[in-house]
Homo-oligomer: A and B are copies of this chain.
Amino acid sequence: MADVASLENLATPSLMLDETIMLRNIERLERRLAALKVSARPHLKTVKSVDAARRVLRNASGATVSTLREAEVFAGAGVTDILYCVGIAPQKLPRVLALRATGCDLVVILDSLAQARAVAEASRKAGALIPALIEIDCDGHRSGLAPDDPTVVEIARILAHEGAELRGVVAHAGESYGARGEASLVAFAEQERDAVVAAVARLEAAGFACPVVSVGSTPTAHFARDLSGVTEVRAGVYVFFDLVQAGIGICGLEDIALSVLTTVIGHQRERGWILIDAGWMALSRDRGTASQKTDQGYGVVCDIEGRVLEGLIVAATNQEHGIIAARPGSAVQPTEMAVGTMLRILPNHACATAAQFDGYQVLTAAGGLDYWPRFRGW
């Protein structure tokens, strides 16, 4: 790890990334997916950084993104196989075509006849096939069609016969974030696989091939036991992990690669509070652990070296203030830390917290300190 003295010179709040932990997390999923004989298509919405993406993608066949801006930035950095995994809006098709024209195999997803017609029409007008995956709903989480919905085959027909390209199907078990315990996580992974496999069977019976069968979420990716019929797995937050994933049981606190470096700026001793310069602008407003067994407030408090200070959480935030208190029911009371003391906060949700910063202060695997810029926008 980098010398603590080098952290003491950083302005606070800063976003810290421990590269050693990140590489361990990447390797862990790589090993799993290799054993399951499926490709990895990591979701880059978590990292939003070309430097981080290079490490995430080193053994992956392609990337997943959640915005066209992500697609454009990563394509510009040399990624040539990208799935834009948010239902396509017709207005966005000119940008999709423009990016495809540069040589990037950008694929869209959709779950309605209207979108299929728009994709087919845009393809015909441009004289360039836009490939699409049909989104299948496996758990009522958000979007997608039931595997047995006749619309699935109708969409396939439009894509394949009216000028676009049917590339396959895609599902995301978003409800797995509410799972607890191994049996439940394994069941979510099976449900995700079953949904796409059922949709592929219907499509193949209707004469449509599905070269891509894509599933994924960080919880299901880490608990799937059999992915027969699936060609690729998507996951994003596993690269950094966070308190929500620890609460689900996918990782431990020692696997969280991301933290927010902060400085003590005051106390309210009668109330047992420590005030820090990381509010919700730094930590994000995400309260993903609020519905879990252990509510971690706005984050778990560590010392400057990243050691968890048992019992202390960021209990409340304002824009640029955080209030550290002992976890409700805890016997531990906030210790007296002098104004100026630096701490690190483990985030509820890595995607949300990272998005509050323009870049990562990286504790490199080589033992130094580096800076990796992030981008944002749409």
Contact = CB atoms under 8 A, between A and B. Distances in A.
B318 A142 contact: yes
Interface in A95-121: 110-112, 114-115, 118
A142 B286 contact: no
A355 B267 CA distance: 27
A348 to B, nearest CB: 9
A238 to B, nearest CB: 15
Contacts of A89: 12, 263-265, 277, 339-340
A251 interface: no
Nearest to A355: B281
Nearest to A351: B319
Contacts of A284: 285
A311 interface: no
B320 A91 contact: no
B377 A358 contact: yes
B277 A86 contact: yes
A287 interface: yes
A377 to B, nearest CB: 6
A186 B74 CA distance: 53
Interface string A270-286: 01000101001110111
A142 B321 contact: yes
Interface in A348-378: 351-352, 355-358, 376-378
A63 to B, nearest CB: 15
A11 interface: yes
A275 B339 contact: no
B66 A319 contact: yes
A243 B88 CA distance: 29
A45 interface: yes
Given A266-B111, A321-B86, A352-B280, A91 B340 contact: yes
A156 to B, nearest CB: 17
A338 interface: yes
A275 B352 contact: no
Nearest to A316: B142
Interface in A36-93: 45, 66-67, 86-92
Task: Point out which of A86, A265, A338 has the most chain B C-beta atoms below 10 A from its C-beta.
Answer: A265
A323 interface: yes
A247 interface: no
A13 B358 CA distance: 20
A219 interface: no
A11 B271 CA distance: 47
Contacts of A87: 265-266, 275, 277, 321, 339
B338 A114 contact: yes
A285 B89 CA distance: 23
A88 B352 CA distance: 27
Interface string A242-265: 000000000000000000000111
A268 interface: yes
Contacts of A277: 86-87, 89, 378
Nearest to A286: B285
A320 B11 contact: no
Given A90-B340, A275-B143, A11 B114 contact: no
Interface of A: 11-14, 45, 66-67, 86-92, 110-112, 114-115, 118, 137, 140, 142-143, 174, 263-268, 271, 275, 277, 280-282, 284-287, 318-321, 323, 338-340, 351-352, 355-358, 376-378
